[in-house]
Amino acid sequence: MINHSCPAGKGPAPNPYLLSIVQHNCLARWDVFLLLFESFRESTTYPSLVLLEDPPVNKAHLPSFNRFKSFSPPVRNPRVAAYVHVSFHASFSVLPSFKGVDDILALDVSSQEPLFGTNFQSFRLINAYSTNTHDHRVHSVSTEILFPTLDIPLLVVGALNIHNPLADPLRSCSPREIGSSTPCFEQAAEAGFAPLNPPGNTLGSPWLVTPAPRLSTWLSQTPSASKCSKAGKSLSP
């Protein structure tokens, strides 16, 4: 088990009325993980949720960081992980679920009261690391799993490896990349999802770290909850 404890009194707890999410690919490196979590101490508050792809793993254990509870698929080398701040975990019910694979996890967040400015008492968040298979048109995590039909708001984040001008107009995409990614964008749109990142935004925002298009964030358009704004703002109708 890799452990790191930040000094007591550092880093205020996240605001329970705002949903703040940080997403990052750690490249399986402890130093990247540590730099990311240490950077939170320089911010006004810690994020509510930290979603990682390629987290560093030691003997089937994730690194730990004080004030965060970690979740990952129950495999030896998980490709995704979620870190939930203990104050957020104490304020809401957070239930992880897994698909029996190493590259996707879901968190169901619920409360007895409507959440973050919506009419819903629960929402789901999916974190996935989808890579190309031997067939460049097929990804390791299918769009059917990424974009299921639910009756609650759904956020989909992850390293999806879908390079497309719709997400980054300034990127020069190859015909192979466009052919591989276009079906994903089309199926997401048909399922009622919209990209959360503005086109060409490769840096995201302070609390929603989602470099596009490799790290993509999607939000389902439900009848009563249409968007999740950046920088720790609320889900709003």
Q: What is the pLDDT of residue 235?
A: 41
- Amino acid found at 31: D
The string over 136-149, giving b where at least 16 C-beta atoms fall within 10 Å of a residue's C-beta and e elsewhere, is: eeebbbebebbbee
Q: What is the pLDDT of residue 179?
A: 78
Decide the pairing of beta strands 215-220 and 227-228.
unpaired
pLDDT greater than 50 at residue 7: no
In SS3 terms, 158-221 reads as EECCCCCCCCCCCCCCCHHHHHHHHHHHHHHHHCCEEECCCCCCCCCCCCCCCCCCCEEEEEEC
pLDDT greater than 80 at residue 16: no
pLDDT greater than 90 at residue 194: no
Q: What is the pLDDT of residue 89?
A: 94
- Lowest average pLDDT, out of 73-77, 85-89, 202-206, goes to 202-206
Bigger pLDDT: 169 vs 210: 169
Beta strands in 73-165 (DSSP E): 80-85, 93-98, 104-110, 122-129, 154-159
Percentage with pLDDT > 90 across the chain: 33
Task: Please state the pTM of the whole predicted model.
Answer: 0.78
SS3 126: strand
Q: Which of 110, 129, 138, 134 is nearest to 216 (CA)?
A: 129
- Lowest average pLDDT, out of 17-26, 73-82, 218-227, goes to 218-227
Catalogue all structural domains in the chain, each as residue range(s) with its CATH number.
3-236 (3.60.10.10)
Q: What is the pLDDT of residue 30?
A: 94
Q: What is the pLDDT of residue 140?
A: 72
Bigger pLDDT: 21 vs 3: 21
Q: What is the pLDDT of residue 200?
A: 58
Q: What is the pLDDT of residue 137?
A: 62
Assign 104 a pLDDT band (cuts: 50, 70, 90).
very high
DSSP structural state of residue 92: S
Q: What is the pLDDT of residue 28?
A: 94
Q: What is the pLDDT of residue 20?
A: 86
Per residue in 113-156, pLDDT (tens digit) is 988 877 889 999 999 988 766 565 667 777 888 888 888 888 88
Bigger pLDDT: 3 vs 227: 3
CB half-sphere exposure, 86, CA atoms < 13 A: 7
pLDDT greater than 70 at residue 50: yes
